[in-house]
Amino acid sequence: MTILDGKKTADDIKNEITAQVTIMKSNGEKVPHLAAIIVGNDGASLTYVGSKVKACERVGFESTMVKLPSTTSETELLNKIKELNQNDDIDGFIIQLPLPIQIDTQKVLMAVDPTKDVDGFHPENFGKMALDMTTFIPATPFGILELLERYNVETQGKHTVVIGRSHIVGRPMSILMGRKGFPGNSTVTLTHSYTKNIAQITTQADIIITALGVPNYLKAEMVKDGAVVIDVGITRVADDSTEKGYRITGDVDFEFVSKKASFITPVPGGVGPMTIAMLLKNTLLAREQRKARN
């Protein structure tokens, strides 16, 4: 059994990006610039955005954090987005979700210039992905592809079962695993809350990608010997023995599933750390595309 080490892989990617930025600088080129908009004071959101800014600093990107009060109106946010769309110094930007209830999230995501949409949430970019065109792939699915690629996990002709149909993980993952190329060319089954006999389906899978958010959901008896198991679940479970009072738990009953799997991602340290690395990669791509256009 091989652990798909997301922490190490993310570090490798960040080092590679740092090297590229160093070359850009020595050539006197503009370095990638990522902006992040955060509305309100949600603790988890602030932590996520903080990590993204820190990651930018580490690889030598410029970064801008735009903090707006929780009372921000939809129009005010749309105006800010327009400003970032028009600001030629910004290569890409993200809007930290969730947004306060007075704001229509879909409308806001639609307002982002697709060429700066490094989260890959704009329908045009999502459609390009589904139509096998080059585009920004949402960070979590992109991170999973990168792990499969770097560990040379065979996907062609394999049966991949995806659990959960969210817009940010399950749906795009199901599309990407069935696309032409590598990683891809998988037979893909997308399962969700209406799926019957889920264990009957997962036991047939060569690759299982679970993005459900239910701790220890995937038991050993649901997995066949030698399966590849990717755990996208991140749930805080109360745990008095830890300093924070909780621990992060995945969807996979790791202790027992890991005994049957050929490859498996741990939680934490698997898919999670890859997400920010792939956001950086998308921002670098946005910079390169902007340069090629100008």
Q: In angstroms, how far is the first alpha carbon of the chain from the final one? A: 48
Q: Is residue 104 within the footprint of a second copy (CB under 8 A)?
A: no
Q: Is residue 178 within the footprint of a second copy (CB under 8 A)?
A: yes
Q: Is residue 199 within the footprint of a second copy (CB under 8 A)?
A: no
Q: Are strands 246-249 and 235-238 parallel, antiparallel or unpaired?
A: antiparallel
Q: How far is the CB of 132 from a second copy (least distance, A)?
A: 8
Supply 236's token pair.
């805080």
- Is 117 labeled as catalytic in the residue annotation? no
- 3-class secondary structure, 182: coil
Residues 149-168 that bind a second copy (CB under 8 A): 156-157, 159, 165, 167
- 3-class secondary structure, 212: coil
Can you tell me which of 33, 80, 116, 122 binds a second copy, judged by CB under 8 A?
122
CA 110 to each of CA 104, 113, 120, 126, 224: distance values in angstroms, whole numbers, following the listed order = 10, 8, 11, 11, 41
Q: How far is the CB of 150 from a second copy (least distance, A)?
A: 22
Contacts of 101 (CB under 8 A, 6+ apart): none
Q: How far is the CB of 198 from a second copy (least distance, A)?
A: 9
* Burial (CB count <10 Å: 0-12, 13-18, 19+), residue 75: exposed
| Closest CA relative to residue 76, chosen from 90, 91, 95, 63 | 95
Can you tell me which of 190, 232, 279, 284 binds a second copy, judged by CB under 8 A?
190
Count the alpha carbons within 13 Å of 236 in the hemisphere toward its beta carbon.
Answer: 7
Q: Is residue 140 within the footprint of a second copy (CB under 8 A)?
A: no
Q: Which of 14, 52, 158, 281 is catalytic?
A: 52
Q: Is residue 108 within the footprint of a second copy (CB under 8 A)?
A: no
Q: Is residue 292 within the footprint of a second copy (CB under 8 A)?
A: no
- Is 119 labeled as catalytic in the residue annotation? yes
Q: How far is the CB of 117 from a second copy (least distance, A)?
A: 11
Q: Which of 96, 116, 158, 206 is catalytic?
A: 96
Can you tell me which of 201, 214, 220, 248 binds a second copy, judged by CB under 8 A?
201
Supply 149's token pair.
């690629």
Q: How far is the CB of 283 from a second copy (least distance, A)?
A: 21
Can you tell me which of 27, 75, 106, 152 binds a second copy, judged by CB under 8 A?
106
Q: How many CB atoms lie within 10 A of CB 215?
A: 18
- Is 96 labeled as catalytic in the residue annotation? yes
Q: How far is the CB of 126 from a second copy (least distance, A)?
A: 4
d(CA 52, CA 56): 6
Count of residues that bind a second copy according to CB under 8 A? 34
Residue 72 DSSP symbol: -
Which residues make up the interface to a second copy (CB under 8 A)? 106, 122-133, 156-157, 159, 165, 167, 171, 174-175, 178, 185-192, 194-196, 201
Catalytic residue list: 52, 96, 119
